[in-house]
Structure 1
Amino acid sequence: MNFASDNIVGASAPVMEALMRANAGTMLAYGNDEITKRIKARFAEIFEHEVSVFLVTTGTAANALALSSAVPPWGLCVCHREAHVIDDECGAPEFFMHGAKLIGLPGVGAKLTAETVRSYLEGLPKAVKQMPPKALSISQVTECGMVYGLDEIATLSAVCREHGLTLHMDGARFVNALVSLGCTPAEMTWKQGVDILSFGATKNGCLMAEAIVVFRPDLAEALDYRAKRAGQVISKGRLIAAQLEGYFADDHWYANARHANRMATLLSEGLTQLPGVRLAWPTEANEVFPIVPKTLDRALKAAGASYLTWTEASLPENEKIGADEVIIRLVLSFATQEEEVSKLLDVARAALSRQAAE
């Protein structure tokens, strides 16, 4: 019963098969191979737009390099205060932005609203002593499992245009959000004003394969050099591209995300039927954030369940966590089996029944 992350499972079979095919024989190095060329063309087809694509091995590299292309050393990048870029990447974005800063704003469910961003931007002094805002970064899916709707992305983009900011999307769970919204990649990105995307695939079936997808040509000009300086121009680059080829084939990436999201819905529905359990935020993709009694938390862990406890920082105003309660995070993946979900629910029911009888 390991629900700690969608990073805990290996790569999916189609991805590994594509990787093994690419491993045979010899090909040009440093991304000059035919597989990489095919994948870059495939990204343009998927997004219905001419794009520049830079393949990297980690989401941290994707985010840090993407933001470095948009924010000069004297600039600010605005994000949610719990965003992965500010909270979980050991300062990598600021390191690669060479002194630029990240500023975190509040928002329910780790989502930013246009009103919050606009208010912050308009409240900044304009003197040279103040670092000017240059980019806005949003997480899709957010760190609390919520999904920005198309209209929400569009309104944030409008604020960016008003104030001259680049809009970056951290898409670590990109396709989980697509499945949730029922839209196309184009509709969730450049059609709503996204300028640059960190495209995640590792959490949804790849071994280690991410991409920076650039919709605005000026942001791509220096990324080849930035990627090289960051150690992300891989000599055997075909082995990153091959993973994505297996990932995209026959809409495998969609199938994986649909399964993960469905498992999350199943778990969420089961948990909310239990006495004393409620959701901190709606289940909108492949993560579930129940508020549970601490006694249940201990019982689940004693039974071997693995997951993380979570922060209260982005709860709705009317939601309060009791002294005997805790928020936990349960993440479902493409490899999660329905039996695992059922087992966790059975353990929870039994624990709550025992407690009620005592």
Structure 2
Amino acid sequence: EILKSYQKKNNVKIVKLTIREQPNRDYKQSEIKRPIKIIKEGIPLSFKSSQGEVNITQFQTDHSIPGACSYIIKCDGRSVIYTGDFRRHGSHSVWVNDFIKQACESNPIAIITEGTRVPNIEGFRNSTYRRDEQSESDVEVRSREIIKNHPGLILVRCPSRSLDRILLYYSLAKKFNRRFAITPKIFHLIDCFRMRLDNMEESVIKQYYDNYDLPDFSDKNFVIYLPRKGWGKFESADYKGYQKDILKIGNYVTYKDVKKEPEKYLLYLDYFMLSELIDLDQKPGKAIFLNSVTDPFNEEMIIKEEKLNTWLKRFGISKSETVHSSGHSNVDDLVDFLQKIDAENIIPVHTEHPETFQEFGLSGKVILPEKGKKYSF
């Protein structure tokens, strides 16, 4: 990018931004062909190395989206643990507890661990990180009260890829005789998840359905909210891809349905759907916005949140306090996790404050990783 400033007449400054493609690559094209191997849950993948046979085992873990995994890499009777993103306060803490057991038995020489929610040293020492912590169970309890006590339209914003949260609001909608109206994109996510499961082994399918009770698209408490496209007449020609499939399924609603019976709906609505408020046209004070996402923590998110608040204020829609549970382990759970696994070396990654790990009182050595440096054990 090249930014140039020009001084024009009457002291008016003109700024011109030119974007130019990099003429030369700043990297080298690799000549090495690497085979891609799919690792199956709980089944070691083996390969030969200069240090002997290496076995990698993948374990399902609990995070804010399905499919998150932790790994145990074994070689010569020792192991390196990689946690990936995980939490212990979600709906599937048993997965993490099972992984702790497997990790302990693997004789770990090192653990590479996430630390997303680890604060700076001062915040850790003052225990300020414990404020406003919520579990997925807390989200259910608080959401249940909001839905139970509001007679009109309820708009809910939650992480669109969090299958646990989507299924939570589906169950609450069903409990209070409402229709949970999701977006076409969320419908597509669930449909792809279901089709992927259908191609797996029967034991795996059962395991996933035990943990994710996916609704049937014929369920009248689980509908798709179809936005207007093109000419705004909900005609097939206006929709493409999976959105066109929705018209064939038929289990969809539009703003007309919600506007007619707002008290019967729990409608998913995020930042990109704010213009739907124009068509929904609710009387001031009749609708509530259930906010079930993380609070903004950077400039872009703050700007978007201010825009959302302006829209809600314009239509007289009240906004709940944040009802959300992080997809990452809280500090106390993380310390307990690391103490139980008890690796000789602890390498924090995915954290803004790796130095705080030295305050955890762990028996192992905390290594603050440096870019480009190789570590041997």
On whether the aligned pair clears a TM of 0.5, the verdict is no
- Of structures 1 and 2, the one scoring higher in RCO (CA 8 A, sep 6+) is 1
TM-score between both structures, scaled by the size of structure 2: 0.28
Please, what TM-score do these two structures have when normalized by structure 1? Answer: 0.29
* Structure with greater Cα Rg: 2
